[in-house]
A = this chain, B = another copy of it.
Amino acid sequence: MFEQLGLIGCGLMGGSFALAAKRAGLVRRVVGYSKSPSTTERARQLGVIDVEAPSALLAASGADLVLLAVPVAATESTFKAIRHLLTPGMLVIDVGSTKRDVVDAARRALKTEVGVFVPCHPITGREVAGVENADPDLYAGRQVIITPIERTLTQKIEQATALWRALGCRVTQMSPDAHDAAFAAVSHLPHLIAFALMQGITRQPRGADYLALAGPGFRDFSRIAAADPQMWRDVLLANREELARQTALFRGALDGLEQLIATGQIDALEQAITEASHARATWRMTPGQK
């Protein structure tokens, strides 16, 4: 389907995409670049990329598919670095967890050529970062949100959709704003909470003793706290307004529960927990995801 993937960012997300696309026969050759030369070298040693490029521009050069897999705050500078080489024949995609900042950066940096860029957010990840953890199965069975803008070319949207489907993903389209509002609630706020929980525990004198007693509930709840700090720094900052709105709603709910506990309102507390428990017990990941 594609002759050459220009991979900019050879970490977990980018590396996994390269492995998956090659295995599925969707790209013939992968030219990769990472900001850290040792990462680029490691990616080649691991067979994640075929050729090391010394710059983002040279990774994109000659590619018919370009993937940006960098922390979202690096999107604009990356686009600026490669825009001179963009041709109408290229498809450019990203895997960023926020979309409004990414499309704004694309508009500013790519100007009239922004139509070749299809903003994408695959709903997947792992608690371990880095090319060493790249996994060709990371995307299989997952949902991918595509957030085109008015100028995005229809043909490019179709191409990106077919590409993700060929990797076993289910593709949904929505606006960048709707995307960011939703993921503030179901992803960015949970990460923020998980980080705060770990800080709250570890900063107390007996925190390490407490952690030694934690069981499987804690293990699952806190898993996302181990996420990549640079990536999440950018996500939390990029979506700060929607995140603040969701955090306020969460605080309101927490206040309410604490009030019921402090005043010993047994029945109302059970009712509130039942509401939360029922919502979670009946929730299922979108069909088609594993």
**CB interface residues, A 192-226, toward B, < 8 Å:** 192-204, 206-207, 209-226
**A191 beta carbon closer than 8 Å to chain B:** yes
**Looking at the complex, which one of B215, B221, B224, B258 makes contact with A124 (CB distance below 8 Å)?**
B215
Binds B, one of A1-9, A20-28, A88-96, A262-270: A262-270
**Looking at the complex, which one of B128, B200, B224, B276 makes contact with A195 (CB distance below 8 Å)?**
B276
**Looking at the complex, which one of B143, B244, B262, B280 makes contact with A215 (CB distance below 8 Å)?**
B143
Query: Could you mark each residue 155-182 of chain A with 1 if its beta carbon is under 8 Å from any beta carbon of chain B, else 0?
Result: 0000000000000000010000000011
Known: A223-B220, A224-B220, A249-B204. A186 touches B198 (CB 8 A): no
**A137 beta carbon closer than 8 Å to chain B:** no
Known: A223-B220, A225-B280. A273 touches B233 (CB 8 A): yes
> Which chain B residues lie closer than 8 Å to A212 at the CB level?
286
**A135 beta carbon closer than 8 Å to chain B:** no
Query: Could you mark each residue 97-129 of chain A with 1 if its beta carbon is under 8 Å from any beta carbon of chain B, else 0?
Result: 000000000000000000000000001110110
Q: Is the CB of A203 within 8 A of B253?
A: yes
Known: A124-B216, A244-B262, A266-B237. A275 touches B199 (CB 8 A): yes
Q: Is the CB of A213 within 8 A of B277?
A: no
Q: How far is the CA of A184 from the CA of B256 in the complex (A)?
A: 18
Known: A193-B254, A276-B225. A187 touches B236 (CB 8 A): no
> Which chain B residues lie closer than 8 Å to A273 at the CB level?
195, 227, 229, 232-233, 236
Interface size class of A (residues with CB under 8 A): 35 or more
> Which chain B residues lie closer than 8 Å to A202 at the CB level?
275-276, 279
> Which chain B residues lie closer than 8 Å to A41 at the CB level?
none
Q: Is the CB of A216 within 8 A of B274?
A: no
> Which chain B residues lie closer than 8 Å to A153 at the CB level?
none
> Which chain B residues lie closer than 8 Å to A191 at the CB level?
217
> Which chain B residues lie closer than 8 Å to A204 at the CB level?
185, 249
Q: How far is the CA of A262 from the CA of B124 in the complex (A)?
A: 27
Q: Is the CB of B194 within 8 A of A276?
A: yes
**Looking at the complex, which one of B233, B240, B283 makes contact with A262 (CB distance below 8 Å)?**
B240
**A289 beta carbon closer than 8 Å to chain B:** yes
Residues of A in contact with B (beta carbons under 8 Å apart): 123-125, 127-128, 142-143, 145, 172, 181-183, 185-187, 189-204, 206-207, 209-230, 232-233, 236-237, 240, 243-244, 246-247, 249-250, 252-254, 256-258, 261-262, 264, 266, 269-270, 272-277, 279-281, 283, 285-286, 289
